[in-house]
Amino acid sequence: MRLLFVCTGNLCRSPLAERWSVAHVVPQLAAPAELHVESAGTAARAGEPMDDGAAAVLSELGGSSAGFRSRLFTGDLGSGADLVLTMTREQRRQVLSRHPVGLRSTFALREAAALATRLSDEQWAVIVSDPSRWLGALAAALHQGRATRAAQGDAGAEDVLDPIGSPMTVHRQVGNEIAGLLEQLFGPALSALGSVVRVAQQPTARVTA
């Protein structure tokens, strides 16, 4: 499974989301190696390190920017992802312009988190019924929910602010927002996956003579 985050320069928001997920989502999976988390930027210059302010906030949130290098989003990157999460709706449009067939698996992060809150326990149970494919199942459920979701907020309601060049207070605000949205989006799946794993690990009952 592949999870891809996208912002503009791949320096602040998307790498923070990537490395936060590596630190807080991947370790909770029964088979961590099955989930590959990546990021890219719609206008990124390849090979740049993470922005210093964003990296500092990531560290405060328990993640690491070590070894990170930016890269440009391409249609090939999108085609291999089970779920693509952008930081703004404009970035979502740019992603889809390069990868049109990704409509069902591409969402703005705030959009996806809001849609996740509408999923029932029964829907989460279906999503995680195959732990090796839950990310794609989540994308499918979110897309189904998007078709019926009423329009909410103003034009910027689903955008995460770009903090580049801003004071640390703004970086922390954005970092905390991204972490909160990711918890909102993936928390129920991780809880449900934990239940699936616990059931699977229970010993088979034996009848004794």
Spatial CB neighbours of 42, under 8 Å, sequence gap ≥ 6: 6, 7, 8, 72, 73, 91, 94, 95
Distance between CA atoms of residues 103 and 101, nearest Å: 6
Q: Write down the pTM of the prediction.
A: 0.90
pLDDT band of 146, cuts 50, 70, 90: confident
Token pair for residue 70? 């930016």
In a domain, 209, yes or no: no
In a domain, 207, yes or no: no
Q: pLDDT value at position 149?
A: 65
- Residue 5 three-state SS: strand
In a domain, 44, yes or no: yes
Of 76, 87, 83, the residue nearest 41 (C-alpha): 87
Q: pLDDT value at position 30?
A: 85
Q: Is the pLDDT of residue 206 over 50?
A: no
Q: What is the pLDDT of the chain when averaged over all its residues?
A: 89
**Which CATH number belongs to the domain containing residue 183 in this structure?**
3.40.50.2300
In a domain, 116, yes or no: yes
Overall domain count for the chain: 1
In a domain, 205, yes or no: no
- Residue 179 three-state SS: helix
| Tens-digit pLDDT profile for residues 43-86 | 999 999 999 999 999 999 999 999 999 999 999 999 999 999 99
In a domain, 204, yes or no: no
Token pair for residue 130? 């195959």
In a domain, 208, yes or no: no
Strand ranges, E, within 42-165: 83-86, 106-108
Distance between CA atoms of residues 28 and 11, nearest Å: 26
In a domain, 203, yes or no: no
Distance between CA atoms of residues 152 and 206, nearest Å: 54
Domain of residue 133, residue span: 2-198
